[in-house]
């Protein structure tokens, strides 16, 4: 059973894992980071080492998503969530 790293913005409802990087990580080299986004993500509790689970998706488009992290439910758009890399739990 191999664990894989995924971008939070690409995860579906019910998928969970541990955050391994926040900000412009190796998987995000193609896209320049918006100013202050890393700090904002960190402030909302999306920090390396924290457990995260995608709980809800907005209807129709599936964007934004609501993730459970550090005891709170945080809503964010998928393109923002893509700056968070998650080591997904394997089944």
Name the site residues for another protein (rule: CB under 8 A): 22-23, 34-45, 47-50, 55-61, 63-64, 66, 68, 70-77, 80
Q: Cβ closer to another protein: 26 or 36?
A: 36
User: Where does residue 71 rank: exposed (0-12), middle (13-18), buried (19+ CB within 10 A)?
Assistant: exposed
Length of the chain: 91
Give the SS3 label for residue 37.
helix
Q: Cβ closer to another protein: 2 or 14?
A: 14
Unique residue bearing structure tokens 């193609």:
30
Closest separation between CB of residue 31 and another protein, Å?
A: 13
Q: Cβ closer to another protein: 1 or 71?
A: 71
Contact (Cβ atoms closer than 8 angstroms) between residue 85 and residue 19:
yes
Closest separation between CB of residue 47 and another protein, Å?
A: 5
């Amino acid at each position: 059973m191999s664990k894989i790293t995924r971008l939070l913005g690409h995860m579906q409802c019910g998928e969970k894992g541990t955050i391994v990087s926040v900000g412009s990580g190796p998987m995000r080299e193609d896209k320049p980071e918006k100013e202050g986004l890393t700090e904002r993500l960190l402030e909302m509790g999306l920090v390396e080492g924290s457990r995260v689970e995608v709980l809800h998706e907005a209807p129709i488009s599936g964007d934004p998503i609501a993730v459970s992290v550090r005891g709170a439910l945080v809503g964010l758009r998928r393109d923002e969530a893509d700056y968070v890399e998650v080591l997904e739990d394997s089944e």
